[in-house]
Structure 1
C-alpha cells in the first residue's frame, strides 16, 4: 500500500499538514511518512537526535500512530521531490499562506515544488480547518491537453470521503469557452458519473470584469464550505500569461481552503 508523505518544519503549519495527512490516511487505509529535511546546522549527531525527538513529540501531541519518521540531509526541495517518488500516493504540505514556510517555501517556490512532485500534492495553511471532512470538493474546469492525473486524484479523495464534487466553470460575459475546456468539462462530468460520485455542475456568472480566476474560485469554495479546491499544477496554453500568479493566489488563499494540485 502506498503511503502519504507529509513534510514538516515543526511549525504550526506543519502541525496542520500532519493532522490532515493522518485524517486522509485513515480514510484511504494507509499510513503517513513524516519527512524533515536536515539543514546544515542540524546534521550533527546531537542535533539529529533533537530533531528526531521533536518530530516524535509533534506526532504524539497530535495523537498520531504508526507514523514513520524520516530525517534526510540535502536541499529540502530536491529531497521532497525525490521522496515523493518512492511509492507514495500523495504529498501533504503545510504553508504559512503568503508568508511561506520557514524554509522559504512560498509563492513561486511552492508552485514549482508541486509541479515537480511525482504524485498529487495536498497543500494546507496554518489556519485551515484540517479536522473537517472533505464533504465537498471544488473542481474548476481547465483547458489542458490532459487532466487525467488530477481527475484520478479527485476521484480517489471523493470516494474515500463520500464527497460531492462541484465542477466549477466561471461564465465570462461575451466569452466563448474553448473547445479544450468544454471537452475537459464533459470528461469530468462523465468520469464522476461513471464512478458513482455525487456531483454538481456549477456554472457561475462572473461579477464584473477580470481575466483572473482565483478570486471567484476561492469565493465559491468558501460559500459552499468546500474541503478543498482541486487545480492543475501546470498552466494551460489558454491562460499561461496569468496562470502562475493565479495558482499562487489559490495556494495561499485568504479563505484558508486546502488545495489539491496534480
Structure 2
C-alpha cells in the first residue's frame, strides 16, 4: 500500500501547490508525507563552504519550512522534514531520486514551476529529470492548482496506446479511481503520422485509420470491462490526429481532473516518452499529470486494486 509520499520543495508557489495535493493523497491513502529541501550552494564552484554558512542556510530553510507548514495548517509533528545541502558531485535530480529510493517512497509530488533564476525547480530541469528516472509514480502539479476536496464528480483521463507500458499507467489510475471514487476516461489516439503528405494516399490512409480505430475499440472495451467489474465507471474514447494535441483537447473539453500516463510508449525502440507526448502534456496540461513508470511492478506501490485485476489488467 502507499505509505510514504515525497514532496521536494524549493518553497516556491508551485511547490506549495504540490504539497496541497500531497496532503490530499496522504489523507485518502493514510500515508505519511516527507518533505525534502535541498539547500543550493551559493557558489557551485566552491567545493568546501565554511560550516557556518552551511549551518546558516539550513537554519533559514527550516524557518521557511515552518512557515510552509503553517500555511497548510500543519506542524512538524504531522510530517517528516529533511533539509540536505547540495552536493557538488551529485545533481539535485539524482539526490531526489536517491532519497526517494532510500526512504522507500511510493509517490513523488512536484511542482512544474519554481523559483525564477538559472537554477529553478522547473519542468524541463529538475522536475522533468526526476520524473524521467523515477521508479515510482510521480505527480506533477502546475503552479496555482489546488485540490478540490468537496468535488464529487471526478474524472481521470488515461491515454492508452495498447502497449504494456501504458497498462502500467492504467493500473495506477485504477487504484486512484477506487480511492477517490472517480470515473476513468480511456482515450486512444490514432496517429498515422504523415498527414501533410496524403496526396493520392488519402483513401488508403483513411482505411488504415478506421481499422486502427476498430482494433483500438475492441482492446479498450476489454480493459473497460475489467474496470467495470470492480465498480469503476469508465468510458472509452477514440480520436484521430496528433496524440498530445488530442489528449490536451480532451482534457479541456471534458472537465478532466487528473491525467495518468506512462513514462514510456510504443515507439519502435524502448525510448522514454518524455521529450515527446508526455513532455508536451506535462508542459501544457491545465490539470495535474501523474506519470507511472512503465516497468513498475504490478503489486506496488498502488496495491489497493484487487490482486486478480492487477494480474489481469494488461
Q: TM-score, normalization: structure 1?
A: 0.84
2:232 maps to 197
Are 1:20 and 2:21 matched, yes or no?
Answer: yes
Are 1:154 and 2:173 matched, yes or no?
Answer: yes
Query: Any conservation in 1 of the 2:162–2:216 contact (CA below 8 Å)?
Result: yes
Q: Per-residue deviation at 1:72? A: 2.1
Query: Any conservation in 2 of the 1:13–1:125 contact (CA below 8 Å)?
Result: yes
1:68 maps to 80
Are 1:92 and 2:101 matched, yes or no?
Answer: no
For 1:160 and 1:227, the matched residues in 2 are separated by 14
For 1:215 and 1:5, the matched residues in 2 are separated by 31
For 2:139 and 2:235, the matched residues in 1 are separated by 22
Are 1:259 and 2:278 matched, yes or no?
Answer: no
Are 1:81 and 2:105 matched, yes or no?
Answer: no
Query: Any conservation in 2 of the 1:95–1:101 contact (CA below 8 Å)?
Result: no
Query: Any conservation in 2 of the 1:165–1:200 contact (CA below 8 Å)?
Result: yes
For 1:188 and 1:91, the matched residues in 2 are separated by 27
Query: Any conservation in 2 of the 1:13–1:94 contact (CA below 8 Å)?
Result: yes
Secondary structure of 2:212's counterpart equals coil
Larger Rg: 2
CA 1:243–1:123: 2 relative to 1, 3 Å: closer
For 1:145 and 1:179, the matched residues in 2 are separated by 19
CA 1:107–1:181: 2 relative to 1, 3 Å: farther
Q: TM-score, normalization: structure 2?
A: 0.71
For 1:190 and 1:47, the matched residues in 2 are separated by 54
225, 228, 231: which one aligns with 2:255: 225
CA 1:149–1:242: 2 relative to 1, 3 Å: closer
Query: Any conservation in 2 of the 1:124–1:257 contact (CA below 8 Å)?
Result: yes
CA 1:46–1:108: 2 relative to 1, 3 Å: closer
CA 1:182–1:203: 2 relative to 1, 3 Å: closer
Q: Per-residue deviation at 1:140? A: 0.9
Query: Any conservation in 1 of the 2:6–2:105 contact (CA below 8 Å)?
Result: yes
Secondary structure of 2:178's counterpart equals helix
CA 1:116–1:179: 2 relative to 1, 3 Å: farther
Query: Any conservation in 1 of the 2:160–2:167 contact (CA below 8 Å)?
Result: no
1:177 maps to 212
CA 1:250–1:171: 2 relative to 1, 3 Å: same
CA 1:243–1:91: 2 relative to 1, 3 Å: closer
2:196 maps to none
For 1:186 and 1:36, the matched residues in 2 are separated by 44
For 1:140 and 1:215, the matched residues in 2 are separated by 12
After superposition, the C-alpha distances for 1:158-179 in whole angstroms (9 at most, x for unaligned) are: 1110000000123565424399
Query: Any conservation in 2 of the 1:6–1:35 contact (CA below 8 Å)?
Result: yes
250, 254, 261: which one aligns with 2:281: 250
223, 235, 238: which one aligns with 1:188: 223
For 1:39 and 1:122, the matched residues in 2 are separated by 23
For 1:83 and 1:181, the matched residues in 2 are separated by 40
For 1:147 and 1:84, the matched residues in 2 are separated by 23
Are 1:56 and 2:56 matched, yes or no?
Answer: no
